[in-house]
Amino acid sequence: MITSSIQKQLFQITSIEQEQIDNNGKNVQDVPTRPENIENSIAQMPFWHFFDKGRIAITQSNRFSYIPAHKHKFIEMNYCYHGRSIQYIDDKMITLFPGELLIMDREIQQRINYARKQDILINVLIRDDYEINELTSNLHNKNSLLVSFLINCTKKEFPHNNYLVLDLNKDSVFKNIVEDIINKGLNNDGSNNQILQYLLQAFICAPDHLIKSKKINFSSIDEKSLYPIITYLNDNFKDITLNNLANKFGYNKNYLGNKIAKETNHTFKELLQMRRLNIACNLLQNTNLSIEQISEYVGYDNHSSLFRLFKSYLKITPTEYRRRIRLPKSLDGDSLIPNPYFSET
């Protein structure tokens, strides 16, 4: 369990958090996740900020603001210790409650909702494939989903858009292991690196019944997989059509449309709209581009199309979204920040 001294530290308000309070919830970029330019609107968390003391790092997420959309160059676990954490993982809302842990591969796109004073989220970061291979090399049971997940993370020819959510309240042993990792790692100066590796190796033996939800695709990337098709759609969202996509990959248009709907539970049009919405939201958060400029960038000839997209999915206009995402009305107490994009329904 978390020690009293670490618990006290977790609830203390840091200088970054105080700055976010003072700025009415405006996000302070303590880690440079802001895209360098409009062509790279989904940024990646860098290595250098976290791993000065070792290949396993423990950090705490800042409260009193949101964390904009990003991907990772490393493997990340988010552990909810207190309160809750409302996140969007590849456009799917996930709410973590105390004792629940989310683990994400590198190509997952993540954004985190405004965190209140009582929302304590702790991150366990694994730097690279070398460390994952060290963790999994001596395990006898490599058939568990968690171990398979980590092994898949090291395979360059495999998809890396997987995640798992574990409910550690079902097994106090594994919950205590994670909290011991936090105890030993939060202020680690390098002296606890070996014990962190041992604890993490023990944790990844967690049984499958602790998995609450998941997205896993451990199949290789080949001509039968949707992975390269969805990747191409995501990269060419400005002017892609189903007909273009089908021709690119040698499919009949109707066959590909049915395949996408069957395997993703979304139509081609829905996937394209969600991609454009995601990009537009990131640009509204991170740039001062006008609504007209953003509309044109995501592929609409008329900015009224962007208004209809936001009203359809978020029940709000792009202008109101930008205002609310930058200036929340409440940062404390039990009420959720009034941000429709991260609503609980």
> Does residue 224 surpass a pLDDT of 80?
no
Q: Contact 182/250 with Cβ under 8 angstroms? A: no
Q: Contact 295/238 with Cβ under 8 angstroms? A: no
Written as six digits, the tokens of 16 are: 């970054």
For tokens 């989220």, the residue is 121
**Is the domain defined by 227-342 classed in CATH 1.20.120.1200?**
no
- Average pLDDT, stretch 105-129? 89
The pLDDT score that the predictor gives to residue 152 is 87
> Does residue 57 surpass a pLDDT of 60?
yes
End-to-end CA distance of the chain: 32
Q: Which helix (H) or strand (E) holds 78?
A: strand 75-82
> Does residue 53 surpass a pLDDT of 90?
no
Provide the pairing of β-strand 43-45 with 67-72: parallel
Beta strands in 174-294 (DSSP E): 211-215
Residue 133: pLDDT band (50, 70, 90) is: confident
Written as six digits, the tokens of 40 are: 């790279």
The pLDDT score that the predictor gives to residue 264 is 79
The neighbour count for residue 155, using CB atoms within 10 Å, is 13
Least confident residue range of 69-73, 241-245, 299-303? 69-73
Note the pLDDT tens digit of each residue in 171-209: 999 999 999 999 999 999 889 999 999 999 999 999 999
Beta-sheet strand order (sheet of 110-112): 43-45, 67-72, 110-112, 85-89, 92-96
Query: Taking the domains of the chain in order of start, what are their residue ranges?
Result: 4-215, 227-342
Q: CATH number for 4-215: choose from 3.40.50.1260, 3.40.50.970, 2.60.120.280, 3.40.50.720.
A: 2.60.120.280
What is the pTM assigned to this prediction?
Answer: 0.78
Note the pLDDT tens digit of each residue in 2-12: 999 999 999 99
Q: Mean pLDDT across the chain, nearest whole number?
A: 84
The pLDDT score that the predictor gives to residue 342 is 40
